[in-house]
Amino acid sequence: MLIDGVLTEGTTGASFDNIDPATEAVLGSVADAGHADMAAAIAAARTAFDHSGWANDRDLRKACLQQLQDALVAEQEELRSELVAEVGCPVLSTYGPQLDAPLREALVWPAAMIDEFPWRRSLCPKDAFGMGSESEREVWKEPVGVVGTITPWNFPVEIILNKLGPLLAMGNTCVLKPAPDTPWNATRLGRLIAEHTDIPAGVVNIVVSSDHELGEDLSSSADVDMVAFTGSTATGRKVMTAAAGTLKPVFLELGGKSVNLFLDDADLATQMGSAAGVCFHAGQGCAIPTRLLVPASRYDEALELAVEAMKRWAFGDPTDPANLMGPLVSARQRERVLGYIETARQEGGRIVLGGGIPAEFPTGYFVEPTLIADVTGDMTVAREEIFGPVLVVQTFVDDDDAVRIANDSDYGLSGMITSGDLERAKSVARRIRTGTLGINGGIWYGADAPFGGYKQSGIGRQCGIEGLEMFTETKTVAWPAS
């Protein structure tokens, strides 16, 4: 790990295994940090923010982000194979959102925005109290300080870079605690920072631990000014509770239960392939639409097409570029997904496809692409995030009903709408309470595109101008007008 500019194995002497979820083999071991290591990392980030000059040196920040970008690109292929091994993601996905897409822009875009960001704006001079003296007034944007950064295992590089890029560009320092399931991409990042950049000691600290509670040290510490968290809604709630003691801002990117909505004028025969998107990375994506909403009048046709699309989804060895789906990340995660499928059976859902462990893959944490029909809004699988290759199908009678069902969720992260009429689709889009929406196959993703959730899908936005703003404080200053 990386603490105060030093590559270290921490102080506990302990280590934990990194497991390949496709083979269940131990890839290697990782140093296991304890609370003292986390305390040292927080102290280093505090000192670096308060004393290193990083917060005020925009040129240094631009240069360092570029150095880190170059170092990552130089080890892109090592990162790729390591990611496939520890995450179990299909190698094909690393040429897109799992690796190459964030490597193209997650650091580069915020670095370029350092010059363009409105760090300062003038207000009109004003005699605020009507006492005959005007003041010049300005609003200054400043870094928040030390950001506790806590990340999950499903898209580790994508999520880490889309947090580090903006927070470093804005002048913050950080302590990153990656998910224990996928530690190597983060420890590699730490090494690249130490060996190939001029990022001052303590600006980025990376603490790896099998103990989730180390995350809580970040949420509760008085020396941490903000927490930026991506993970489950349940853990997000714990982060917010722990942060309440010091009233620090929490930036939460949480779970989803997004819809893939086909209006009744949609061309199902050519568009229903998107239903199989639930199998992408075995459904382990927060923004993947997992509720298929189809018109009751076209239910049979839609089901048949969705099943066909999911049957065609190739899965297996994630290192094989022909496969679009690998295993789930862990045995625990697979048990969770199988438990949801069983609950669906008990609550009256009809398993039309899949529903278990594929016979051809007894090793590795695989689950079959699974489609559950006849799902109603009160069923557990319609309400809770499953995080597996499991699609639930619900029907609606008209656009109002579709909007009602789409919004009948604690979540509001993403979604898709398909219609033969773009304007009609947009008017439905305006009524769905969610942070991102793709219409007729449109893809909203990008370092310049704010991403985040309504309702219990989170607080705040990652990426885009809004994502830079997240990592700033606002200071209003005034002096007598001359």
**Strands 250-253 and 226-230, how do they pair?**
parallel
Q: Per rule CB under 6 A, is residue 256 in the interface with ligand NAD?
A: yes
CB of 389 to ligand NAD, least distance (A): 14
| H helices present in 52-155, as ranges | 58-74, 76-87, 91-94, 100-105, 108-116
Q: Per rule CB under 6 A, is residue 298 in the interface with ligand NAD?
A: no
Return the residue of 143, 152, 183, 369 that touches ligand NAD, per CB under 6 A: 152
CA quadruple 243, 246, 251, 257: dihedral, nearest 10: 30
Cβ(395)–Cβ(416) below 8 Å: no
Angle value at C-alpha 170, between 230 and 186, nearest 5 degrees: 45
Q: Per rule CB under 6 A, is residue 365 in the interface with ligand NAD?
A: no
CB of 237 to ligand NAD, least distance (A): 9
Among the residue ranges 126-134, 234-242, 265-273, 397-405, the one whose residues contact ligand NAD (CB under 6 A): 234-242
User: Is 64 labeled as catalytic in the residue annotation?
Assistant: no
| H helices present in 245-295, as ranges | 268-271
* Length of the chain (residues): 482
Residue number with CB closer to ligand NAD (86 or 317): 86
Backbone angles phi, psi at 14, to 5 degrees: -90, 160
Return the residue of 172, 230, 260, 395 that touches ligand NAD, per CB under 6 A: 230
Structure tokens at 309: 């699309």
- Which candidate in 82, 286, 385, 463 is catalytic? 286
Residue number with CB closer to ligand NAD (82 or 158): 158
Residue number with CB closer to ligand NAD (218 or 373): 218
Beta bridge partners of 250: 227
Cβ(135)–Cβ(480) below 8 Å: yes
Residue number with CB closer to ligand NAD (299 or 454): 454
Q: Per rule CB under 6 A, is residue 35 in the interface with ligand NAD?
A: no
Q: Per rule CB under 6 A, is residue 176 in the interface with ligand NAD?
A: no
Structure tokens at 271: 């568009």
Query: For 206, what's the count of Cα atoms within 13 Å in the CB-facing half-sphere?
Result: 28
Other CB atoms within 10 A of residue 338 CB: 18
Q: Per rule CB under 6 A, is residue 368 in the interface with ligand NAD?
A: no
Q: Per rule CB under 6 A, is residue 163 in the interface with ligand NAD?
A: no
Backbone angles phi, psi at 416, to 5 degrees: -140, 145
The alpha carbon dihedral of 22, 283, 440, 106 has a sign of negative
Q: Per rule CB under 6 A, is residue 224 in the interface with ligand NAD?
A: no
Return the residue of 86, 223, 225, 253 that touches ligand NAD, per CB under 6 A: 253
Among the residue ranges 139-147, 231-239, 311-319, 336-344, the one whose residues contact ligand NAD (CB under 6 A): 231-239
Among the residue ranges 93-101, 135-143, 251-259, 392-400, the one whose residues contact ligand NAD (CB under 6 A): 251-259
Q: Report the distance separating Cα 167 and Cα 170, nearest Å.
A: 5
15 sits in which H/E element: strand 15-19
Residue number with CB closer to ligand NAD (186 or 310): 186
Return the residue of 238, 336, 345, 433 that touches ligand NAD, per CB under 6 A: 238
Using Cβ positions, the residue closest to ligand NAD within the complex turns out to be: 215
Q: How many residues bind ligand NAD (CB under 6 A)?
A: 30
Residue number with CB closer to ligand NAD (230 or 370): 230
Residue number with CB closer to ligand NAD (153 or 262): 153
User: Is 286 labeled as catalytic in the residue annotation?
Assistant: yes
Q: Is 19 left (phi over 0), alpha (psi -120 to 50) or beta?
A: beta
Other CB atoms within 10 A of residue 48 CB: 25
Q: Per rule CB under 6 A, is residue 385 in the interface with ligand NAD?
A: yes
Residue number with CB closer to ligand NAD (59 or 213): 213
Structure tokens at 188: 């590699």
Return the residue of 106, 239, 372, 468 that touches ligand NAD, per CB under 6 A: 239
Q: Per rule CB under 6 A, is residue 281 in the interface with ligand NAD?
A: no
Return the residue of 109, 153, 280, 313 that touches ligand NAD, per CB under 6 A: 153
- Which candidate in 86, 105, 216, 253 is catalytic? 253
Return the residue of 10, 90, 255, 389 that touches ligand NAD, per CB under 6 A: 255
Cβ burial of 218 (10 Å; 0-12, 13-18, 19+) is buried
Q: Report the distance separating Cα 181 and Cα 90, nearest Å.
A: 17
Angle between helices 58-74 and 156-169 (to 10 degrees): 160
By C-alpha distance, which of 324, 336, 431 is closest to 384? 336
Q: Per rule CB under 6 A, is residue 177 in the interface with ligand NAD?
A: yes
Return the residue of 38, 92, 175, 286 that touches ligand NAD, per CB under 6 A: 286
Q: Can you give the binding site for ligand NAD, defined by CB under 6 A?
A: 150-155, 159, 177, 179-180, 212, 215-216, 219, 230-232, 235, 238-239, 253-256, 286, 385, 387, 413, 453, 458
Residues with catalytic function? 253, 286
